[in-house]
C-alpha cells in the first residue's frame, strides 16, 4: 500500500486586513495593490507548501520506512 499524506487547509502569510488598514490608515486599496498582495500571498504559500511537503515526506519515511507517493494540499 502506497503512502498518502493529506494536509488540511493552511493559512500562509496571515495578513490581518483590519490591522493592516488600521496601521496604514483607512485608504481604499487599489486593484493593483490587491493583485500584488494576492500574488505575494500565493508565492509565500507555494514556498511554505514546498518546505512542508519535504519535511512531511521525510517524517513519513522515518515512521513507516516507505516513500510517500501522494501529497495533497487543500
pLDDT per residue over 16-64, tens digit each? 666 666 666 667 889 999 999 999 999 999 999 999 999 999 999 999 9
Whole-model pTM: value is 0.56
Domains of the chain: which residue ranges?
1-8+29-74
Alpha-carbon gap, residue 44 to 48, rounded angstroms = 6
DSSP letter string, the chain: --EEEEE-----S---HHHHHHHH-SPPPPHHHHHHHHHHHHHHHHHHHHHHHHHHHHHHHHHHSS-EEEEEE-
Q: Which residue has the cell 512542508?
A: 52
Amino acid at each position: 500500500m502506497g503512502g498518502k499524506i493529506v494536509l488540511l487547509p493552511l493559512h500562509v502569510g496571515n495578513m490581518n486586513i483590519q490591522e493592516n488598514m488600521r496601521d496604514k490608515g483607512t485608504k481604499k486599496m487599489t486593484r493593483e495593490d490587491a493583485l500584488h498582495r494576492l500574488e505575494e500571498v500565493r508565492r509565500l504559500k507555494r514556498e511554505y507548501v514546498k518546505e512542508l511537503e519535504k519535511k512531511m515526506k521525510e517524517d513519513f519515511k522515518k515512521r513507516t520506512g516507505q516513500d510517500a507517493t501522494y501529497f495533497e494540499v487543500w
